[in-house]
Amino acid sequence: MRIYLLILLTLLLAACRHEAPRQPEPAFYYWKQSWTGNPLELQYLQQLPAKKLYIKMFDVSPDAGGKPIPVAVFRQQAPLPQGQPLVPVIFIMNEVWAQLKDTAEITAFTGKTSRLLEDMAMALPDRQIREVQVDCDWTQTSSSPYFQFLTTLKSQPFFRDKTLSATIRMHQVKYRTSSGTPPVDKGLLMCYNMGDLRKAGDHNSILDPATMKAYIGSDRISNYPLPLDIALPLFSWTVLFEQGQYKGILRNIGAAELDNRELFIPQGKHLFVVKNDTLFNGYLLRKGSELRRETTNIELLKSAASLVAKQKQDYNPTIIFYHLDAATLKNYPLHELQETYRLFH
Amino acid sequence: MNYKKLIVFSISFLAVFFGNIIYILSCGGGEMDPYDYYISYFNTYLKGQGYEPFYFTSLSDYYDEATPDETTVNVQDWRNYAGDKSVSTDDIYRYIYKFSREQVAQIADCSTKGQNCSLADSAKNNSFALYLANPKHQEAARYLLYAKDCENIVYNPDPWVERGDQSGAMGDLYEEGKGLLANVKDKDIAQRYKFQLLRLTHYRKMYRETVEAFDRDFGKAGNGNLIYNKALALKAGALYHLRDTVNAAYLFSKVFAAEPGLREMAFLNVKWTHTAAVDIFPLCKNNKEKANAVALYSFQIPSVDFTGLRMAYQLDPGAAVLSAMLTREINKLESELLTPRVAAMGDSAGLSLGYYSYSYFNQDAEGISYRDSATALQRFVDDVAQKGKVQDPDFWKVSAAYIAFIRNDLSGARSRLEKYPVKDPALKDQWELVNLLVTLNEQKRLDAAFEAKLLGSLKWLDTKLGQINPDGYWYASDKNLFFNKAMRNILATVLAPGYHRQGDYTKEALIRARCAALHLGVPPYDAVNMVKDEMSAEKLIALYDFLRSGNKTDYEKYLVAYFPKDISMELAIGIAYMRVNNFTAALPWLKKSPVKQQPVSYQVWTDQLQDFGEDTADARHRTPITASQFCEEMVRLLNLTKKPPVSAAVYHKIATGLFNISYYGKSWSMLKDYRPSTLWYTASCEKDPFERQYFGVYDAEIFYTKAAQAATDKEFKARCLFLAARCAQKHVPENKDDKLYYLSLMRNRYFPVLATNYNQTAFYQKVYGQCSYLQDYVSETRRKK
């Protein structure tokens, strides 16, 4: 009898897999066009402490004639920090792929992109660029040219010794078969903008745990064929709807402004209804229009982080906070950000 | 029938099918035409040349390019400078804007050397090149080469190349230019050099020097040509960078007044200064300048507000810009007042006109402020039209009549039209259009007498139509297609709903056909859609008889010419009868319709234990069955039911045919061209005899029940009962409470007898494993026991 008990115990002990704790690395994303050396931003960078700084170098979008051109090219108006490695990022609008008709055009486009990226990377203080990232919300139709672009890019001399990463959005994790997996070294899972921004209604399109759960399921992250870094949102915005139609994002109308009961009637969890026609902070607001205040707060962030952290890959993820912006950071004391990324241990 | 499986199937189907599309829409695309998102009958191009970028559209930053644009003016200036009749503007344009640096350098070289050098062919064929090659004009030739060199430094020709700081190169060019200028005797060429030098100074961020240089080189001249205005804009920009925003705004407003081609740039720069008109009033020298400032700032306002217009008029009634300002106000009222009213009228006739979502529009509460604004504008425009001090008095007169129309004051519009006949030929057409609109709206009933008059108007509109560019990538603007839009709007928003309200669906279809033939945008449905989806058999027969009748009026003949020739009316009528399960009436029509156009099925007679699926040929279903053949068989079977005893097989086959052509069946294409996967049975289906069967499958259920009763074989009985249960499930009323809804699906009226009497059959064993409702019903019953 005792021997059986011993065997049982041994088996049980063996079954308890001792998982080594992960070492997540925190980082920040810088998405603005000019680096101005804002003191608060520098402080957060130093004290998080961020292990990397992702900086968007330029966007690519089609011009009036359909040709892809670089826009919003990064300008350094103050010295960049020396404390962490820089990761240059480029954002490519999905519409670009429809304009590139064949392999020759894709190759030419890749050459231009890589040359410009290389020139800009050389101008950065940290010449030892170890990773480069591409951000593109590709679709099933554009997956072929986009993946071709990535493969060609990786074969360029500048990229050969560097890690190439690509952003992966929630729907691309869920519908992995139809979306495909980009031919890169690793991915960055964007845990935000998972709802439908342009759909009217009382939801939070930036971050909603229930929606996220539907996308990531119980193992879609852990089973994803690429190692995934994780991007978490810190931002908020107000969305305007007129008669159920999406009108745009209002840049300077936040919680404080919406507190004005003379102008805005709260309705539901995120909605405010405009009481009277008014010109407010430069925006013309019509009576009856709806403003939806979408925010992220630390509770939401932690609950989303916990969900994602449960699905472990055999990899130490970089946890990137989007984005490094003084106005946004004011809402997040450093220790709360630290608690959040530690959830990924 | 497995609820869960269905949901999974639907979601996966939707996600795969629409997933990409939904995401794309949520990131862009699916946007409205920025020039055609509201009903408009007022041509923006009537008066207001030179202000084209500021014509009203709230969905786009600028409407169109200003005329004359900078290129045209520059070319003309060179033409005037040359003063030589042999030099053509086309050649000047090509030389300045298309020739390469090498080509320009060669000409400059020849001109300076003064010998007979051999010119390239491109130069020999260009009259301006030949002019410049003449040594008498070497200053001009040398200047243009210098300008080309500046262009390559000042603009980055390749956005993919990061050139970094160009100050060094600009400094070198500046020195070179200064040297060249010192030897120039011609005043015009000297002025152009000074402009280039000024720009190189500004672009090197030397703003104080820019201001000084302008005052020194251009201050006295002030001859208001293009070069002067471009230089003035550079000074204004320099002042902006030196934080003197008010002065900057004032100077930009002067550029705005003087040069149409630079207006967009000046407008944008004024916005950057964050000033208002009153800020620059103290700097304005006279009322003309103040009026210009008011106009400029008023173009920033997208909402209904004619304060600026009134102020500008009081300051300078003869200003040309007033017409452009008035047009904007009228277009705004079309968008905010006219379109919602017309859309509401369409809604009341049961027709959605497709102008975006006014379903929440509360006319009384919201419209009031626009009605008041319109009334105030009316008073103002009437006053101005009467006093006649403006540059285009006829324009204001037509506008006054049209504003009355927008306000739905038809008698007011009529009286103004009569009081103000117009002489200006450009406005005659607009007057005629307003006249037509008033007449149309005054008419209570569209009868034959009115139609005879209307024919003349439609034919007049035909003469005004523009050609649609089939390669046109972007949207139509009023420039070429104004009357196409006006005609489309009249047909789709006035005449079609008018006939619909009168119950004259035949005419409505004809009008929609004429409208679709314009190929301009999509009204909610055209004649083809109407025939295939919106008309009952009776209405279709009326249309059919009309089309074949001999004595049509001229008006009717005109419309019929546009009616699509390739629709089979017989087929449409047959299918319309089939939709309401009237197979006997459908059959003779289907027999007359061309076989090739008829929908075809392979599996319509095979009963379905699951919904949906594809009706394709396979090993067991090789024979195609046309609609006509299907109908024939249905009629035969239905006749058999009148002669008892009726076999279960007959009832079963009828029921299967009925179910399979419903929304849930594989053969839905017998009745419909298109079946979106997002529709379902709702209570409102009960009101429409077609929807009642298509979504509610009541008759199919009845016949499956009869089949079960008539059957003797237990397996077959079980099968028919289950099929009846599937039908019964379809017309369970919707319920917001998910739990209650599920319960009502589970407590299917056929489950008790199935579970009690047939649970030993092989069929029952099979479907029990597939149908979770049945399983849940059985568990519930067991628990109760």
DSSP string of A5-18, one letter each residue: HHHHHHHHHHHS--
Nearest to B369 among A120, A123, A277 (CB): A277
Contact check, Cβ <8 Å, B159/A70: yes
Is any Cβ of chain A less than 8 angstroms from the Cβ of B97?
no
Q: How far apart are CA B87 and CA B127, in angstroms?
A: 5
**Residue position matching structure tokens 């009869």:** B706
Q: What average pLDDT does range A99-120 have in this prediction?
A: 92
Positive or negative, the Cα torsion across B171, B176, B177, B179?
positive
In this structure, the number of other CB atoms found within 10 A of the CB of residue B761 comes to 18
Give per-residue pLDDT as tens, B579-612.
999 999 999 999 999 999 999 999 999 999 999 8
Residue A231 main-chain phi, psi, to 5 deg: -110, 130
B179 touches chain A (CB under 8 A): no
- Write down the pLDDT at residue B410: 96
Residue B19 token pair: 């997933």
- Residues of B within 8 A of A95 (CB-CB) are 28
Give A197→chain B minimum CA distance, Å: 7
Query: Per-residue pLDDT tens for A127-145?
Result: 678 999 999 999 988 999 9
Residue A71 token pair? 């826009």
User: In which band, very low, low, confident or very high, does the pLDDT at A228 lie, cut at 50, 70 and 90?
Assistant: very high
Alpha-carbon distance of B437 to B483, in angstroms, equals 13
Q: How far apart are CA B665 and CA B612, in angstroms?
A: 5
pLDDT of amino acid B5:
53
Closest by Cα among A153, A179, A180, A149 to A164: A153
Residues of A in Cβ contact (< 8 Å) with B302: 284
Q: What ipTM was reported for this prediction?
A: 0.75
What are A323's two structure tokens?
């984005």
B contacts of A280 (beta carbons < 8 Å): none
Nearest to A97 by CA among A145, A42, A132, A36: A145
Query: What span, in angstroms and rounded, lies between the C-alpha atoms of B442 and A39?
Result: 69
Query: Is the pLDDT score of B358 beyond 50?
Result: no
Instruction: Report, as an integer, the average pLDDT of B716-745.
Output: 92
CA of A24 vs chain B CAs: smallest distance (Å): 31
pLDDT, mean of residues A148-167: 94
Residues of B in contact with A112 (CB under 8 A): 160
List, for residues B254-283, the tens digit of each pLDDT value: 999 999 999 999 999 999 999 999 999 999
Over residues A276-310, the pLDDT tens digits come to 877 777 777 888 889 999 999 899 999 999 999 99
Give B329 to chain A, closest Cα distance, Å. Answer: 17
pLDDT confidence band for B362 (50 / 70 / 90): very low
Cα radius of gyration (chain B): 37
B289: helix, strand or coil: helix
Instruction: Give the mutation candidate from B14, B21, B26, B371 for the A interface (greatest A CB count, under 10 A).
Output: B26
- Which pair of structure tokens corresponds to residue A280? 């407010």
CA distance B54 to B429: 23
Question: Is residue A44 over pLDDT 80?
Answer: yes
| pLDDT the model gives residue B624 | 94
**Three-state DSSP class for A278?**
strand
Q: Which residues contact A149 (CB under 8 A, 6 or more apart)?
A: A106, A109, A110, A113
* Mean pLDDT on A75-99: 91
pLDDT digits (tens, 9 = 90+) for A239-250: 998 877 788 898
A61-69: average pLDDT: 88
DSSP helix/strand/coil, B618 = strand
Give the nearest partner residue to A243 out of B26, B360, B365, using CB atoms: B360
Q: What is the dihedral of CA B178, B182, B186, B191, to 10 degrees?
A: 30
Residue type, B734: E
Separation between Cα atoms, residue B381 and residue B392, nearest integer Å:
12
Would you tell me the crossing angle of helices B627-640 and B583-592 to the nearest 10 degrees? 150
Whole-angstrom distance, CA of residue B602 vs CA of residue B36:
45
Q: Which residue of A has its CA nearest to B359?
A: A243
Higher pLDDT, B502 or B736: B502
Predicted TM-score (pTM) of this structure: 0.78
Would the CA dihedral through B624, B629, B631, B632 be positive or negative?
Answer: negative
Cross-strand partners of A264: A274
Residue B361, chain A, CB below 8 Å: the answer is yes
Is residue B527 within 8 A of residue B543, CB to CB? The reply is no
Name the one residue in this structure whose structure tokens are 């109407």: B530
The token duo for A77 is 């108006």
- Quick: pLDDT tens for B136-156: 999 999 999 999 999 999 998
- The pLDDT tens digits of the residues spanning B733-754 come to 988 787 888 899 999 999 999 9
How many other CB atoms are there within 10 angstroms of residue B350's CB atom?
A: 9
Question: Residue B687 carries which DSSP code?
Answer: G
pLDDT at residue B434, rounded to an integer = 96
In this complex, is the C-beta atom of A171 within 8 Å of any C-beta atom belonging to chain B? yes
Mutation target vs B (from A117, A118, A198; most B CBs, 10 A cutoff) = A198
* Interchain proximity B358–A243, CB inside 8 Å: yes
Contact B24 A139 (CB under 8 A): yes
CB contact under 8 A, B19 and A175: yes
B391 forms beta bridges with: none
pLDDT digits (tens, 9 = 90+) for B286-297: 999 999 999 999
CB of B27 less than 8 A from some CB of A: yes
Q: Which two tokens stand for residue A139?
A: 């679709």
Residue A139 in contact with partner chain B when CB distance is under 8 A:
yes
- Pick from B581, B607, B584: nearest CA to B660: B607
The SS3 call for residue B448 is: helix
Q: What is the predicted pLDDT for the residue at A225? A: 95
Question: Is A217 touching B (CB cutoff 8 A)?
Answer: no
d(CA B12, CA B6): 10
Give the per-residue pLDDT at B18. 35
Whether the CB of A287 is below 8 Å from some CB of chain B: the reply is yes
Using an 8 Å Cβ cutoff, are B203 and B154 in contact?
A: yes
Cβ contact B159–A94 (<8 Å): no
Residues from chain A contacting residue B366 (CB–CB below 8 Å): 286-288
Nearest to A99 by CA among A133, A58, A146: A146
Residue B165 sits at the chain A interface (C-beta within 8 Å): no
DSSP A160-204: HTSEEEEEEEHHHHHTHHHH---SSSEEEEE-S--S-TTS-SS--
Q: At what angle do helices B569-579 and B583-592 cross, to 10 degrees?
A: 160
Whether the CB of A178 is below 8 Å from some CB of chain B: the reply is yes
Contacts of B26 in chain A (CB under 8 A): 196-199
Sole residue written with tokens 């932690």? A302
* DSSP codes, B637-665: HHHHTTSSSPPHHHHHHHHHHHHHTSTTS
Q: What are phi and psi of A136, to 5 degrees?
A: -150, 130
CA angle in degrees (0–180, nearest 5) for A63-A67-A71:
50
Instruction: Give residue B474's pLDDT.
Output: 52
**Mapped to the 3 state alphabet, what secondary structure does A56-92 carry?**
EEEEEEECCCCCEEEECCCEECCCCCCCCCEEEEEEE
Sheet holding A245-250, edge to edge: A245-250, A237-242, A290-294, A271-274, A264-267
Q: DSSP label at B225?
A: -
Question: According to the model, what pLDDT value does residue B522 have?
Answer: 61
**Could A245 and B356 be called an inter-chain contact, meaning their C-beta atoms sit closer than 8 Å?**
yes
